[in-house]
Amino acid sequence: MRRVYLDHAATTPVDPEVAEFMAQVLTEVPGNPSSIYAEGRQARALVDRSREEVAAAIGAEPAEIVFTSGGTEADNLALRGVLKAREGEADGIVTTAIEHHAVLDTAHDLEAHGQARVTVLAVDRDGRVSPDAVRAAIDDRTALVSVMHGNNEIGTLQPIAAIGTLCREAGVTFHSDAVQTVGALEIDVRVLPVDLLSVNAHKFYGPKGVGALYVRTGTRIATVQTGGGQEKGRRTGTENVAGVVGLGAAMRIAVARRAAESARQGVLRDRLIAGIASRIPDATLTGHPIERLPNNASFCFRGTQGEALVVSLDLEGFSVSSGSACTSGSTDPSHVLLALGLERDLAQGSLRLTIGRDTTTADIDRLLDALPPIVARLRTASGAAVPA
């Protein structure tokens, strides 16, 4: 029986068409994009085409796309770049308690070195931040507001249109980590009031190690590394041509398939959520019940441990996670789940199931058959009272 992969929030398999394009570049395009002779011009043309593909997918101009090594670097460039550009003028960062560590750790590092004042806003039980709370946190020294679009652990979508509007009214730069939503939801920066947007290729069937930061024209941002001045001086270093080509191709394919595929995944997600809720007593859905990513179903099961759930399901042929892949191996409950106000013993029994292009109804039904006895066994082994 084939294994069932249900951890697409951590990473997605590279699309075969994307892999083919990348292989051609690796074997047939030896040039450096900064070189002016034929091989360099060939590489530059491929980078430029990919920049156009990424820009078109989100309604941006090609010049507004900066290629990076992934979502983490894009988040770092957004926060550090804006603070550096506004040095001596503004030093406030407003963010939320459920951001990815690439944002939270960066903000706290800036604060630890005396470069920023950080305000971390609470979220409600569903993981949503109030736009009014964002408005109240902004002062005349606020340089940046950073609120992710879709949470990587619980799937909750934030009201970034409303937050972006109030940031624009206040004259504050607005960044959103959209790593989980680009490729899954329609994003048009011509109408969405966001100044900076982080993208990561391996979340939508592209390669690992390449991403992008959208930088709206006129947004003040400084480079955070020195070097050869590539990417118009905003991110120096020789471009990863094959990776960039993979990013562009993956983005183009994702946009073409987005409407139908996200709707299909949403049906499977709802089947999964309803099945777990009806078959497993005392199962706690985490994240917003409606405003959530189309592929995300996340639960906590009291009397279990997330690692034990992952290992048990692995033995049954399922690849799942207990939260963010970036913090795997930690025995502490997720900061995201604790920010929802969940008790620590409940948060420790977390399970994240994220659907992908290859997921079928039969896969979901297999999981629904396998999971209830695993949860019951773990609860019994822990000595926890098994709910009726």
Q: 203 with 182: CB under 8 angstroms? A: yes
Given 3-state DSSP classes, what are the helix, strand and coil percentages for the chain, each rounded to the nearest 5? 45, 15, 40
d(CA 300, CA 348): 8
- Tokens 């964002």 map to which residue? 134
Specify the DSSP class assigned to residue 213.
Answer: E
Q: What is the pTM of this model?
A: 0.95
Helix segments in the chain, DSSP class H: 16-28, 38-58, 71-85, 101-112, 131-137, 160-170, 241-279, 306-315, 335-339, 344-347, 361-382
Map out the domains of the chain as residue ranges.
4-11+258-382, 16-253
Q: What pairing do the DSSP bridges indicate for beta strands 196-200 and 211-215?
A: antiparallel
Query: Which of 179, 124, 114 lies closest to 146, judged by CA?
Result: 179
Helix (H, G, I), strand (E, B) or coil at 212: strand
Answer yes or no: are the C-beta atoms of 247 and 51 closer than 8 Å.
Answer: no
Q: Which of 326, 276, 316, 317 is nearest to 296 (CA)?
A: 276
Q: What is the pLDDT of residues 153-171, one digit of tens each?
A: 999 999 999 999 999 999 9
For the chain, report the end-to-end CA distance as a whole number of angstroms.
32
Query: Backbone phi, then psi, for 154, in 5-degree steps?
Result: -105, -5
The residues, any chain, with a CB within 8 Å of residue 251's CB and separated by 6 or more, are: 53, 54, 57, 182, 183, 199, 201, 204, 206
Residue stretches of the chain with pLDDT short of 70: 324-331, 385-388
Q: Say what the alpha-carbon torsion angle 309, 101, 273, 308 is, to the nearest 10 degrees.
A: 0
Candidates 356, 287, 264; CA nearest to 318 is 356
Domain boundaries 4-11+258-382, corresponding CATH code = 3.90.1150.10
Report the C-alpha gap between 251 and 204 in whole angstroms.
7
As annotated, the active-site residues are 326
**In whole angstroms, what is the distance from residue 288 CA to residue 375 CA?**
23
Between CA 286 and CA 24 the distance in angstroms is 43
16-253: CATH architecture: 3-Layer(aba) Sandwich (3.40)
Q: What is the pLDDT of residue 388?
A: 55
**Interatomic CA distance for residues 334 and 344, integer angstroms:** 9
Nearest one of 211, 219, 207 to 177, comparing CA atoms: 211
Mean pLDDT rounded to a whole number for the chain: 96
Burial 226-237 (b: 16+ CB within 10 A, else e): eeeebbeebbee
